A = this chain, B = another copy of it.
């Protein structure tokens, strides 16, 4: 479903560029569920942002379902992304002035889903992550792990074809984290392609393939196909 070829990404800094990705190439197949692991600072979020069309490669090519998306404009990328991608951000990025329910409704609103259906779909996602009793709360009235779960619910709102989750269980106890993984597996069984950044073996052991990054390049001999 997606192919990266020699993807590089640099960030401009005051005196020099910092190369966060230095030539990453791999394929992801439709319906796969993979983990992305690697040390802090190795480039995982940077790579996920490119795959999720939140950012563009500095060099190299990215094809999504056969379409070269490497050099699309911001609005063109947004159109593809809103249709196809659900993203659970490492920093959640919830809107503080909206309720939990309204936060999950946002992607549905953009997609033109009518009010009543939007509310019921959002409420159903939130129940799936165990937050059915917090619908009216503001994000600041929730625990860290509850905010993380709202971010998961929002990523699932539009039934994405590609689910990208950046450390989705980092703030969750083992059991709640396992419930989120159950949910991801359920979606994967329905055909959703899933990529999870994680540092927890409890998560990576539940995926079929582990892609490892180190200092902006793939650690290819560490790649395991379970």
Cβ 8 A contact of A199, one of B13, B38, B172: B172
B199 touches A45 (CB 8 A): no
Q: Which of A78-86, A110-118, A138-146, A154-162 contacts B (4 or more CB under 8 A)?
A: A138-146
A91 at the interface (CB under 8 A from B): yes
A176 touches B39 (CB 8 A): yes
Nearest-neighbor residue (CB-CB) of A11 within chain B: B141
Q: In terms of DSSP, what is the predominant structure of the interface of chain A?
A: loop
Which chain B residues lie closer than 8 Å to A136 at the CB level? 14
Cβ 8 A contact of A45, one of B38, B143, B175: B143
Nearest-neighbor residue (CB-CB) of A37 within chain B: B173
Nearest-neighbor residue (CB-CB) of A131 within chain B: B41
> What band does the interface of chain A fall in when counting residues whose beta carbon is under 8 Å from B?
35 or more
Nearest-neighbor residue (CB-CB) of A91 within chain B: B144
CA distance A174 to B45 in the complex (A): 17
Near B by CB (< 8 A), chain A positions 16-55 give 37-41, 44-45
Which chain B residues lie closer than 8 Å to A44 at the CB level? 143
Among A40, A90, A176, A199: residue with most chain B CB under 10 A:
A40
A90 touches B39 (CB 8 A): no
Cβ 8 A contact of A171, one of B13, B40, B143, B146: B40
A57 at the interface (CB under 8 A from B): no
**Would you list 25 pairs from A and B whose C-beta atoms are within 8 A, ordered by A residue?**
A13-B137, A13-B141, A38-B173, A39-B176, A40-B144, A40-B146, A40-B148, A40-B149, A40-B171, A40-B172, A40-B173, A40-B176, A41-B142, A41-B143, A44-B143, A45-B144, A90-B171, A91-B144, A144-B166, A167-B171, A170-B170, A171-B199, A172-B199, A174-B199, A177-B199
Q: List the 8 closest pairs (A to B, CB-CB), nearest first.
A: A40-B145, A170-B170, A90-B144, A173-B199, A40-B176, A41-B143, A39-B173, A40-B172
